[in-house]
């Protein structure tokens, strides 16, 4: 293994927390169990990395092997990257054909290399029918830079693909084309959904249209809504209306944990309607606004906001749309009395 490759292993190992290095190396499988035994995983991190570096130097192997270690790390730490959801569009007549993974890999590699030139591609299949693809882009000078990495997660039984490109987005069109060709689709489009939590994106995208959003391994959220009336001398005049609001919100938000979304943007292109008492603006053109909500866990915070006095019940259709069909962008236009909500495709 040449020095550059071993250095890249070092860089990858540095990212992994110390207590997980051994498990990931075992999953990687490049170093045998005997070899792993020779390393003291109790010492400080840079010494562990140094020992592994020495071991790897003696092993034949190329840059491709390191890619697999990187996929293992990224799979465990997917939340460190931003993922965007895309949908592959197929013609209606296409029957469900048995998915041939070898055919997929071959077509993907061939098309991508044709479009972009030299790239390194790793594939790894994970348990939930997800195919992880790691792509190392080349620079204009021809060399692959191990730090220009993109990831694709494709669930072969679905038309959905999740792409994480970090900063090097100029290769996105070529990547999309390669995916279209490899899957025998006729087009790909963005679902306008992005976030750090890959599992949440999957939950949002895979749910059927009628059900509430549920995560696959979750339990119903404990019901904290009923407060015991401890002191009879304290009377809550609004108790029944609050309970009614809570029930209505529960129907919208559901009982299960909500998927993690970090921000949403609404482009408002509606008319400004003033209070008749105030002698203000009358304009024929829309009042152009852009509203952004951001939070570490947006849907949960909207849910708790909806339980406060700051929000009038019933919940507005704009927020309901966010909860039921989570997206990052919405465009709102005027439609006679009501508003039309469309998910803008960017």
Partner 1 sequence: GVVLRPFLVMESLDGAARTLPSIGRLSWGLPFGRAHGRCGLSPSGGLLLQKNLDSQAVAFLLRKRWALYSVTPLYKFSSAHLKAYAKLLSAYIAAEKQNGLAVEVGVELDIKVAISCLPDLKGSEQDEAAVLVQLSLRPQASQKKSEEKVVWSGWFCSVCGDDLSKNMPADFTCLPVFLANGAESYTSIVGSWFQKMFDCCFHHLAISPLNLSWMAAMWTGCKLEENASAMELVFSVPSLPQSLDISYAIHAEDAKALWDTVQKTPGEITQEEVDVFMDCLYSHFHRHFKIHLSATKLVKVSTAVASAHCDGIIKLGLSRQYFIAAFQRKLLTLALGQK
Partner 2 sequence: MAVFQPFDKLPVLNSATLLLVGSDRGLQQELAKAMLQEKKSFKISIHLATSLPLPSEGDHLRPRIDLIVFMIDVKTKYSLKNVEASLAHVAASFFLGKVCFLVTGVGRVNYCSVEMSSIWKLGEVYCSPVLYCELELERTRVATAQRLLRMLQICAGHVPGVSALTFNFMLRNSY
Binding site for partner 1 (CB under 8 A): 266, 268, 270, 272-275, 278-281, 283, 285, 287-298, 300-302, 304-305, 308-312, 315-316, 318-319, 332, 339
Residues 89, 294: Cα–Cα separation, whole Å: 31
In this structure, what token pair is assigned to residue 75? Answer: 């799979």
Q: Which residue lies nearer to partner 1 by CB, 41 or 293? A: 293
DSSP state of 19: G
In this structure, what token pair is assigned to residue 180? Answer: 């279209």
The answer to whether residues 317 and 339 touch, using CB atoms and an 8 Å cutoff, is yes
Which entry of partner 2, partner 1, none binds 237, CB below 5 to 8 A by partner kind?
A: partner 2
Residues 171, 137: Cα–Cα separation, whole Å: 8
Binding site for partner 2 (CB under 8 A): 231, 233-238, 240-241, 309-310
Exposed e or buried b for every residue in 57-69, given b needs 16+ CB within 10 A? eeeeeebebbbbb
Q: Which residue lies nearer to partner 2 by CB, 217 or 224? A: 224
CB within 8 A of 7, min separation 6: which ones? Answer: none
| Closest separation in Å from C-beta 294 to partner 1 | 5
| Closest separation in Å from C-beta 316 to partner 1 | 4
Residues 148, 306: Cα–Cα separation, whole Å: 42
Which entry of partner 1, partner 2, none binds 231, CB below 5 to 8 A by partner kind?
A: partner 2
The answer to whether residues 286 and 270 touch, using CB atoms and an 8 Å cutoff, is yes
Rg over alpha carbons for the chain, rounded to the nearest Å, is 26
Which entry of partner 2, partner 1, none binds 238, CB below 5 to 8 A by partner kind?
A: partner 2
| Closest separation in Å from C-beta 328 to partner 1 | 14
Which entry of partner 2, partner 1, none binds 28, CB below 5 to 8 A by partner kind?
A: none
Q: Which residue lies nearer to partner 2 by CB, 34 or 230? A: 230
Residues 113, 198: Cα–Cα separation, whole Å: 27
Q: Which residue lies nearer to partner 1 by CB, 45 or 196? A: 196
Judged by phi (left if over 0) then psi (alpha if -120 to 50, else beta), residue 184 lies in left
Q: Which residue lies nearer to partner 1 by CB, 114 or 280? A: 280
| Closest separation in Å from C-beta 279 to partner 2 | 20
Exposure of 169 in the CB half-sphere (CA atoms within 13 A): 7
Residues 227, 116: Cα–Cα separation, whole Å: 61
Q: Which residue lies nearer to partner 2 by CB, 27 or 242? A: 242
Which entry of partner 2, partner 1, none binds 272, CB below 5 to 8 A by partner kind?
A: partner 1
| Closest separation in Å from C-beta 229 to partner 2 | 12
Q: Which residue lies nearer to partner 2 by CB, 170 or 240? A: 240
Which entry of partner 2, partner 1, none binds 297, CB below 5 to 8 A by partner kind?
A: partner 1
Which entry of partner 1, partner 2, none binds 289, CB below 5 to 8 A by partner kind?
A: partner 1
Name the β-bridge partners of 88.
188
Which entry of partner 1, partner 2, none binds 145, CB below 5 to 8 A by partner kind?
A: none
Q: Which residue lies nearer to partner 2 by CB, 145 or 225? A: 225
Residues 257, 56: Cα–Cα separation, whole Å: 43
Q: Which residue lies nearer to partner 2 by CB, 96 or 309? A: 309
| Closest separation in Å from C-beta 86 to partner 1 | 27
| Closest separation in Å from C-beta 237 to partner 2 | 4
DSSP letters for 38-66: TS-TTS-HHHHHHHHHHHHHTS---HHHH
Q: How many CB atoms neighbour CB 202 within 10 A?
A: 22
| Closest separation in Å from C-beta 234 to partner 2 | 5
């Amino acid at each position: 293994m040449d020095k550059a490759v071993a250095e890249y292993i070092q860089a990858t190992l540095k990212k992994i927390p110390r207590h997980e290095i051994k498990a990931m190396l075992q999953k990687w499988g490049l170093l045998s169990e005997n070899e792993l035994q020779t390393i003291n995983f109790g010492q400080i991190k840079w010494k562990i990395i140094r020992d592994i570096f020495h071991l790897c130097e003696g092993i034949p192997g190329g840059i491709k092997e390191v890619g697999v270690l990187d996929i293992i790390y990224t799979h465990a730490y997917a939340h460190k990257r931003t993922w965007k959801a895309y949908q592959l569009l197929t013609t209606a007549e296409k029957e469900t054909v048995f998915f041939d993974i070898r055919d997929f890999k071959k077509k993907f590699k061939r098309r991508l290399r044709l479009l972009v030139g030299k790239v390194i591609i790793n594939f790894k299949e994970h348990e939930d029918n997800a195919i992880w693809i790691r792509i190392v882009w080349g620079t204009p000078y021809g060399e692959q830079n191990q730090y220009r990495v993109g990831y694709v997660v494709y669930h072969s039984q679905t038309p959905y693909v999740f792409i994480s490109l970090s900063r090097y987005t100029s290769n996105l069109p070529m990547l999309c084309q390669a995916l279209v060709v490899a899957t025998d689709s006729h087009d790909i489009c963005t679902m306008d959904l992005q976030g750090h939590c890959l599992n949440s994106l999957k939950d949002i995208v895979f749910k059927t249209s009628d059900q509430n959003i549920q995560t696959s391994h979750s339990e119903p959220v404990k019901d904290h809504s009923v407060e015991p009336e401890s002191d009879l001398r304290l009377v809550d005049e609004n108790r029944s209306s609050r309970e009614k609001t809570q029930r209505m919100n529960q129907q919208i938000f559901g009982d299960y944990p909500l998927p993690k979304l970090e921000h949403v943007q609404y482009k408002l292109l509606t008319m400004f309607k003033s209070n008749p008492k105030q002698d203000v603006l009358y304009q024929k053109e829309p009042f152009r606004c852009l509203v952004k909500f951001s939070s570490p866990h947006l849907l949960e915070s909207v849910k708790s906001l909806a339980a406060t006095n700051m929000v009038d019940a019933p919940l507005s259709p704009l927020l309901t749309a966010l909860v039921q069909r989570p997206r990052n962008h919405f465009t709102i236009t005027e439609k006679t009395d009501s508003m039309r909500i469309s998910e803008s495709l960017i």
